[in-house]
Amino acid sequence: MKIINEALKLNELNQMAEATFGNLVKAVVDVEREVIAVDAELHSDLEALLLENGSKQKNLWGVNLYPEMQGDDFVEFDSMINMRPSQGNRSRGIENEETRRKIIAIVAKRIKH
């Protein structure tokens, strides 16, 4: 597991994908601190890592990154940690458009193609 607070090269993300799921890397994005935790079997492990490092749970969202894809297919909004009825999110996806846009911007900032 690794916290990305600077930049990660796409080839490093590819290596992580190949070592685990083959075509994807699980990630958790802190939309407030603009950091990403990557490289674990479960989003909940990445969430715990960020919480231990000062993140607040309400700011953490789980995604899957597909290093071989581009555009809208690069980020998939799907994780059990996203199910938060108390925040108005009742699915594994991310229902708030503004939150999705923030996540895409943070991923673009942290993952260098």
> Given this model, what pLDDT does residue 95 score?
95
Domain borders along the chain are 2-112
Per residue of the chain (113 residues), what is the pLDDT tens digit? 999 999 999 999 999 999 999 999 999 999 999 999 999 999 999 999 999 999 999 999 999 999 999 988 999 999 999 999 999 999 999 999 999 999 999 999 999 97
Whole-prediction pTM: 0.96
Q: Tell me the C-alpha to C-alpha distance, in Å, between residue 41 and each of 38, 87, 113.
A: 9, 25, 23
The residue assigned the tokens 């699980």 is 26
Q: In what order do the strands lie in the sheet with 25-30?
A: 2-4, 35-38, 25-30, 60-65, 75-76
